Structure 1
Amino acid sequence: MAGADPKRTSWPEVVGIPATPAVMKIAHDRSDVAIEVLPDGLKVPKGFNPKRVRVFINAKESQGLVAKTPVVG
């Protein structure tokens, strides 16, 4: 695992893994952002927030796997 990267804005490598290790990876890279874990397909308010990463998971699966690439915003 590489060190923290304050300029990192996306985590394509966590797609398909459970939410908990995905959140841990994102938090390791960007301890300055708030991470929200949400079911994929949930309607969320629009608007960019440079201090937020939303992790969308497939809630239909028992493991809650990351459904799409988490990004800052």
Structure 2
Amino acid sequence: MAEEKQGLGTNPRQEQPSVPLPRNYNQVLGTNNPGKRSWPELVGLSAEEAERKIKEEMSGVQIQVVPPDTFVTADYNPQRVRLYVDESNKITRTPAIA
């Protein structure tokens, strides 16, 4: 009985963190535009135009222009967007975070 009065067997009150925990993967990574992951509207534009538009929406992104018949690594980088271009430097695939 004396032990119950001293509060044994109960958890002490814990403080709540002042900063909320991240709710999704993009919050953990710190991307500044978590909803946008691809740019299908850029297909057919030049690589320079596409790069400018992507950087307007997602600052700090690394743009990688990929010429035809070029191999790329399979690693994932949430700050990289690959621009696949044809011989005339026009985007041929939807640019996306890769």
Same fold (TM over 0.5): yes
Please tell me the residue identity of whatever aligns with 2:33. Answer: P
* Matched residues, number: 66
Structure 2 stretches of 5 or more lacking a match?
1-31
Q: Counterparts of 1:55 and 1:31 in 2: how far apart (Å)?
A: 16
Does 2:98 match 1:70? no
Query: Over alpha carbons, which structure has the higher Rg?
Result: 2
Runs of 4+ in 1 over 3 A off after TM superposition: none
1:38-53 correspondence runs (5 A):
38-53=66-81
Q: Distance in 2 between matches of 1:42 and 1:19?
A: 16
**Pairwise CA distance, 1:26:** 0.4
Amino acid at match of 1:30: M
Asked if 1:6 corresponds to 2:33, the answer is yes
Q: Distance in 2 between matches of 1:47 and 1:41?
A: 18
Deviation at 1:11, TM superposition (A): 0.3
Q: Secondary structure at the match of 2:63?
A: strand
Query: Which of structures 1 and 2 has the larger relative contact order (alpha carbons within 8 angstroms, sep 6+)?
Result: 1
Q: What is the CA deviation profile of residues 27-61 of structure 1, one whole-angstrom value per residue up to 9, with x for unaligned ones?
A: 00111311111113311111111111011110x22
Q: Which amino acid aligns with 1:11?
A: W
Amino acid at match of 2:51: V
Which one-letter code corresponds to 2:84 in the other structure? Answer: F
For the 8 Å contact 1:56–1:70, the answer to whether it is kept is yes
Unaligned runs of 5+ in 1: none
Corresponding residue number in structure 1 for 2:85:
57
